[in-house]
Amino acid sequence: MKMVYTNENHFLANNAKNIIESVGIVTFLKNEFVQGVVGEVAAFDCWPEVWVVDDSDFERAKEALDEANKSRSMNDWICNHCLEENDASFEICWQCSEDIE
């Protein structure tokens, strides 16, 4: 197993996981449920981490994330549900969790 992505923001970590899984790679989200204990451990240790189960998928997972980042700012979208502006790499609205379109 290899870690491909980590972010203190759970939404962004989940988003990265979705992007990687969308290209058919099996991922594993670590530290998903530990937010409540920040303060007892170094905060960084509690960041959610996205891991690929198969090491050979690592490069492909990184590429998928790079691709998603490239499209950033080019195709930002407005949520039909709450009219919030969303980053192009998001598949669901960060505000209300509504699907794109």
95 binds Zn ion (CB under 5 A): yes
16 binds Zn ion (CB under 5 A): no
Question: Quick one: which of 45, 64, 44 has its CA closest to 4?
Answer: 64
Cβ(71)–Cβ(88) below 8 Å: yes
90 binds Zn ion (CB under 5 A): no
98 binds Zn ion (CB under 5 A): yes
Nearest distance from C-beta of residue 92 to Zn ion, angstroms: 8
With DSSP H G I counted as helix, E B as strand and the rest as coil, what are the percentages for the chain, rounded to 5?
35, 20, 45
Cβ(24)–Cβ(8) below 8 Å: no
Q: Which of residues 70-89 bind Zn ion (CB under 5 A)?
A: 79, 81-82, 84
Could you list the residues that contact Zn ion (CB under 5 A)? 79, 81-82, 84, 93, 95-96, 98
